[in-house]
Amino acid sequence: MARLLMLGAGIEIYRRYILETLHGRGDEVVLIDTVPRPWTEPFVRVSLQADLRDREEVREAVLPLHRQSPFDGVLTYDEAQVELTAYVAALLGLPGLSPGAAARCRDKRAMRDAFEAAGVPSARSVLVHDPDGAAAAAAGLGYPVVVKPRNLGGSIGVVRADDESALRAVFEVAAGAGFARIDPEPGVLVEQYLDGPEFSVESVVRDGEVRICGITDKEVGFAPYFEELGHVCRAPGTRPHDQQLIDTVIAAHQALGITVGATHSELRMTADGPRMIEVAARLGGDQIPYAHRLATGVDMVALTVAALTGEDADPEPIRAGVAGIRMLYPQHDGVVRTLRAPDPAAGARHEMAWHVEEGREVRLPPRGFLSRLGHVIATAPDEKELHARLDAAVASLHIEIEPTPAPS
């Protein structure tokens, strides 16, 4: 049992399991967020409002609380709060990332520089400020390239361009992208396109030691955009190239100076070996750590708390299962008319949730990003059975989208 300061509640559909897990363990959670988050009430001991963009206000809120009853740890699972969390950890004298490590994890330009300096395989990447600069950078790198915002998330505004006219056409998608809770840094990155299957490696760092908790096979779609369509979560070491992925991810952590806490590292296996995309200094999104717990029994939430407090905890899998998440996307822009799932009492072998309500307008990239209708999660003893269960789960849903009329 720990007394924990949590910065930011995040989005309920993706993050509820974390607060539920902490509550179930008996941890005492004090949550600070900019606005009230009623959904968190059953799980947190105290909820405070302070503007998370204002360090002075956060400082005023946390110091008296810590004086009254000291926290054992401070954490966040919200990408937007990674640097604030490092600041508060230092303020309270608790384990946390150094400000430099947190900054490197929040700026894709600084991250690529750190990888290059340490010899960690990644992508060549150039910061540009206008379409002509982008075209010049791409000419130097060679097509295809990826253009992306410098410090956002959720693949928002990330696009592949196969030639100069495509690059000029999509430049503004990256340059004009926005993401709630994060102020975009000026400039856009033009990067060498890493071709190959994508993975994420889920880890918890404890006293500088990177403990690998799971490997996730990603399905990405809606090219030339990179919407995350699905994840298959499995134990590390179940595929021949896993060790190469793990070695690269450990080197990436050293390059960035990540010494404590949960991380989510994204990379692609190219013909020349693994290449880093990025490391996020928090638990992965899309309920990936939850699916890993269903698959193998490894509880990354508990391991993260243990890394902060020094509790004993073991990241070894206790089952050899797999779990998968399928995101439900519309096939075209339109208004959601019907969302129907079979009665859960009918004995479904999956979990599911809708992310939108009937009547909502949905738009695919570049008009809208992360336009998910819902998701399903299933577990299975092996991958073949997992895909059969996910397919059956998706087939059991009834979804109707009324297409948006083409502009006249």
Ligand X SMILES: Nc1ncnc2c1ncn2[C@@H]1O[C@H](COP(=O)(O)OP(=O)(O)O)[C@@H](O)[C@H]1O
Q: Interface residues with Mg ion (CB under 5 A)?
A: 266
Candidates 22-30, 146-154, 234-242, 397-405; binding stretch for ligand X (CB under 6 A):
146-154
Q: Which of 44, 137, 277, 307 binds ligand X (CB under 6 A)?
A: 277
193 binds ligand X (CB under 6 A): yes
Contacts of 263 (CB under 8 A, 6+ apart): 202, 203, 204, 205, 210, 253, 279, 280, 281, 282
Candidates 85-93, 134-142, 154-162, 352-360; binding stretch for ligand X (CB under 6 A):
154-162
Transcribe 160-223 into DSSP letters: EESSHHHHHHHHHHHHT--BTTBPPPSSEEEEE---S-EEEEEEEEETTEEEEEEEEEEEEEST
Transcribe 76-135 into DSSP letters: ---GGGHHHHHHHHHHHT-S---HHHHHHHH-HHHHHHHHHHHT-----EEEESSHHHHH
Question: Computed from CA positions of residues 30, 35, 37, 38, in that sequence, does the dihedral angle turn out positive or negative?
Answer: positive
302 binds ligand X (CB under 6 A): no
278 binds ligand X (CB under 6 A): yes
Minimum distance from residue 154 beta carbon to Mg ion (Å): 8
Q: What does the CA dihedral 187, 193, 197, 202 come to, rounded to 10 degrees?
A: -30
Contacts of 250 (CB under 8 A, 6+ apart): 210
Choose from Mg ion, ligand X, none: what does 191 bind? Cβ within 5-8 Å by kind. Answer: ligand X
Choose from ligand X, Mg ion, none: what does 22 bind? Cβ within 5-8 Å by kind. Answer: none
Distance (Å, rounded) from C-alpha 39 to C-alpha 201? 29
Q: Which amino acid is at 192?
A: Q
Choose from Mg ion, ligand X, none: what does 170 bind? Cβ within 5-8 Å by kind. Answer: none
256 binds ligand X (CB under 6 A): no
Choose from Mg ion, ligand X, none: what does 78 bind? Cβ within 5-8 Å by kind. Answer: none
Choose from Mg ion, ligand X, none: what does 4 bind? Cβ within 5-8 Å by kind. Answer: none
Minimum distance from residue 84 beta carbon to Mg ion (Å): 20
Nearer to ligand X, 33 or 228 (CB): 228
Other beta carbons within 10 angstroms of residue 45's beta carbon come to 12
Q: Which of 123, 215, 288, 390 binds ligand X (CB under 6 A)?
A: 123
199 binds ligand X (CB under 6 A): no
Choose from Mg ion, ligand X, none: what does 146 bind? Cβ within 5-8 Å by kind. Answer: ligand X
**Strands 322-328 and 350-354, sheet pairing:** unpaired
196 binds ligand X (CB under 6 A): no
Structure tokens at 182: 């994060």
159 binds ligand X (CB under 6 A): no
Choose from ligand X, Mg ion, none: what does 91 bind? Cβ within 5-8 Å by kind. Answer: none
- DSSP character at residue 10: -
Minimum distance from residue 46 beta carbon to ligand X (Å): 31
Rg for the chain (alpha carbons), in Å?
Answer: 21
User: Which positions lie near ligand X, rule CB under 6 A?
Assistant: 108, 123, 146, 148, 152-156, 158, 191-194, 198, 220, 226, 266, 268, 277-278
